[in-house]
Amino acid sequence: MLKTIAGFDRIGEENAFAVLARATQLASEGRDIINLGIGQPDFKTPSHIVEAAIKALRDGHHGYTPATGILPLREAVCADLHKRVGAEVNPDNVVIVPGGKVTMFMAILMFGEPGREILYPDPGFPIYRSMIEFTGAKPVPIPIREENDFAFSAEETLSLINDRTSLIILNSPANPTGGVTPRAEIETLVKGLAAFPDVAIMSDEIYAQMTYDGMEHVSLLGFEELRDRLILLDGWSKTYAMTGWRLGYSVWPDALIDKARKLSVNAWSCVNAPTQFAGIAALTGPQDEARAMVAEFDKRRKVVVEGLNALPNVTCRTPLGAFYAFPNIKATGWKAKQLASALLEEAGVAVIGGPDFGILGEGYIRLSYANSTENILRALKRMEEFLAANSKA
């Protein structure tokens, strides 16, 4: 018998991909499926970005690049961070990685082992917990509560830290809730963290540029006092509709940058070269398409929230970021995963059950509004008919 390490008995996955596979299968059998399951923009990558990759290929950029990424791209990342956050970042502290996800993989590998504890948001992106479990560290959920508009609580987060805590994972704007944590809460957290100087922080800010109703995104990178232990996760996937390109970046503190570089050399050598040129074009080129995409999400957000609140026994807070709605379905009497499955199989609407994002996700489902308004309205109609005919309340 082949004996892999124990971590593989614990590693999880992202059920959104399984739902996508099932939705695709049903569609290939001729069913009309509306997909509100997967978390990726339904827009094409802006054409000047695509052209930059094509040009890079034609110009002969076919070889390895430095493991941490080409310097002009790391410089573009720093310029962008300076413009958006006001932070001074040295390109030597930036690592270009194949997708935003890779930064969490690296950070959790660096800080997780049996006997340690890692804090992560629940409900939250499922890979956090999966990777923590893989390393043998103890996953400690930071409860993300509806009554708090799905922002994290500084006080609750601080109360979970002990001398075994090695890493805290934070995510705002958040998946799956669309919650955005306000400045005051983040400032309280940063102040409280001063008492725990040996704890690293990984801030997942992949949805940084998707906030609504004037809500401000507060980057942890803006807090000088955290810079010696902050790992920033960001990337191109969501902002520039580039999920399939596999391009992300992280900012590492001086104490960790060489470890991050070595991990990159061991695992992927470098991100594919033309994609890195596309990344430069995205950051330095016109931003109008990226902005128009957010404006379109904003319109759909209003349609989704209004439609969900009109469904029998469903309530939905107004999400202030990302492109997800996380309605409360407790009063329908349905268990969330069963409802998600029934909606797909019987009503042809793909959504994700809240428990796929953590124990505290029970009683909620996640809808991604990265789909046309027309499809969103059709999906809401189908959900209304389904719930009217299948009440368990």
Q: What is the dihedral of CA 318, 324, 206, 244, to 10 degrees?
A: -160
Helices 373-389, 336-347: axis angle to 10 degrees equals 110
Q: What's the closest the beta carbon of residue 107 comes to ligand PLP, in angstroms?
A: 12
- Decide whether 101 or 311 has the Cβ nearer to ligand PLP: 101
CB of 125 to ligand PLP, least distance (A): 4
Can you say whether the dihedral through the CA atoms of 142, 147, 148, 153 is positive or negative? negative
Q: Which two tokens stand for residue 298?
A: 């904003």
C-alpha–C-alpha distance, residues 352 and 19, integer Å: 7
Of 134 and 386, the one with the shorter C-beta distance to ligand PLP is: 134
> Smallest gap, in angstroms, from Cβ of residue 15 to ligand PLP?
12
Shortest separation between residue 170's beta carbon and ligand PLP, angstroms: 10
Considering the complex, state which of residue 120 and residue 386 has its C-beta at the smaller distance from ligand PLP: 120
Least distance (Å) between residue 235 CB and ligand PLP: 4
Q: How far is the CB of 127 from ligand PLP (least distance, A)?
A: 8
Interface with ligand PLP (CB under 6 A): 39, 99-101, 125, 171, 175, 204, 206, 235, 237, 243, 248
Number of neighbours of residue 115 by Cβ within 10 angstroms: 9
Dist CA 357 CA 129 (whole Å): 9
d(CA 36, CA 366): 8
In this complex, which beta carbon is closest to ligand PLP, that of residue 104 or of residue 380? 104
Looking only at the bridges linking them, the beta strands covering 248-251 and 94-97 are: antiparallel
Contact at 8 Å (CB) between 201 and 236? no
Give the C-alpha separation, 160 to 144, whole Å. 13
**Rounded CA gap, 307 and 100, in Å?**
31
> What's the CA gap between 345 and 3, in Å, rounded?
37
Nearer to ligand PLP, 103 or 332 (CB): 103
Identity of the residue, 107 or 380, whose beta carbon is nearer to ligand PLP in the bound complex = 107
- Beta-bridge partners for 201: 168, 230
CB of 163 to ligand PLP, least distance (A): 28
Q: How far is the CB of 368 from ligand PLP (least distance, A)?
A: 9
Q: How far is the CB of 230 from ligand PLP (least distance, A)?
A: 16
Nearer to ligand PLP, 122 or 204 (CB): 204
Residue type, 330: K
Residue closer to ligand PLP by CB (options 99, 179) is 99
Minimum distance between the CB of residue 43 and ligand PLP, rounded to whole angstroms? 15
Closest to ligand PLP by CB, 46 vs 248, is 248
Nearest to 204 by CA among 100, 98, 83, 57: 100
Nearer to ligand PLP, 112 or 235 (CB): 235
